[in-house]
Structure 1
Amino acid sequence: MKTLLRGLVACIVLAPMAGPGMAGQVLITEDEAKLPPPKGAVAADRRGILRGPKIQFVADGDTVHSPTRLHLKFESFGGTKIDPDSVKVTYLRTPNVDLTPRLKPYIQPGGIDMPDAELPQGEHLVRVDLKDSDGRPGTTSFVLKVSP
């Protein structure tokens, strides 16, 4: 009985801590960060889109430490609503990396709020695309600067 109890205690003590609030969710892996940056311009043109939705990246400063809170706010106009199923988040590399499946649990009509996004050190260019209930597109790009 003592041996069984010791084994159980060892399993509890040696088990990696996981679960909500215990560890961050990997947003960008080390291997993805090593991919080459995109070639050419990445800015999106919003001319002619007068009432398309806006996406605001909420930053806690110029640089962040990992894990960090990834927080974006969505704003729609003219009585429309943001279509959460239309949200696509892309890590701009060569080739691009679709981050949408990793962020799906954190996407709401009002934005994205991922409390513990784990990112490797460096600068990471991310693009967010979405549509409102009238099908009007919105897009933004931002750089996540992660310091050691």
Structure 2
Amino acid sequence: MKFIQLSLIASLIMVAPAVNAAQLISAKEAALPSASGTLATRGISRGPSVKLVSPEADTPVSSPIDFKVHFEARGEGKIDPNSVKVVYMKSPFVDLTPRLKGAISPQGIDFAKADVPPGSHTIRVTVKDADGRETNSVFTLNVTK
């Protein structure tokens, strides 16, 4: 009987990390064709600053990842968290915003243990301040496994 209990406990411990991961991008979405066209963003902007904190852009990482983006308003502006839009740059575009809603704040996005399939994933983050000034930033996540 003790062997069965220990075996069950060991199985639960091995499965636990996978249960805590939340899907950011599905394998089906990753298989879509890449969006066509250029992903240009404007140079100088009075809009908020958007910086990818984790994982480091263009650095290979393993899934699950901690997806963290930092927002910083310029001047006296304040970030409008309701304006944040996160799009997976595929054809057609995949709106990731609903999956991240609970992780979005005026300070940024903090989505821990995001499940992302292997591959190169281009994501555009759009944010506005309370005065309507908008910034678009494009990041590429390289997931190895």
User: How big is each residue's C-alpha offset from its partner over 1:56-100, in whole Å with a ceiling of 9 and x where there is no partner?
Assistant: 001344111100100100010111110000000000000000000
Q: Distance in 2 between matches of 1:18 and 1:43?
A: 41
Partner of 2:22: 25
* 1:104 partner SS: helix
Partner of 1:125: 122
User: How far did residue 46 of structure 1 move?
Assistant: 3.5
Q: Distance in 1 between matches of 2:77 and 2:19?
A: 37
The alignment of Structure 1 onto Structure 2 pairs a total of residues equal to: 134
The one-letter amino acid paired with 1:84 is P
User: How far did residue 22 of structure 1 move?
Assistant: 4.4
| 1:77 aligns to 2:74 (yes or no) | yes
Q: Given the two structures, how large is their TM-score scaled by the length of structure 1?
A: 0.82
User: How far did residue 38 of structure 1 move?
Assistant: 1.0
Partner of 1:141: 138
* Contact 1:54–1:139 (8 Å) recurs in 2: no
Q: Given the two structures, how large is their TM-score scaled by the length of structure 2?
A: 0.84
Partner of 1:58: 53
Q: Distance in 2 between matches of 1:74 and 1:88?
A: 13
Q: Deviating runs (4+, > 6 A) in structure 1?
A: 12-15
* 2:100 partner SS: helix
Give me the CA root mean square deviation. 2.2
Residue in structure 2 matching 1:68, options 65, 68, 72: 65
Bigger strand fraction:
2
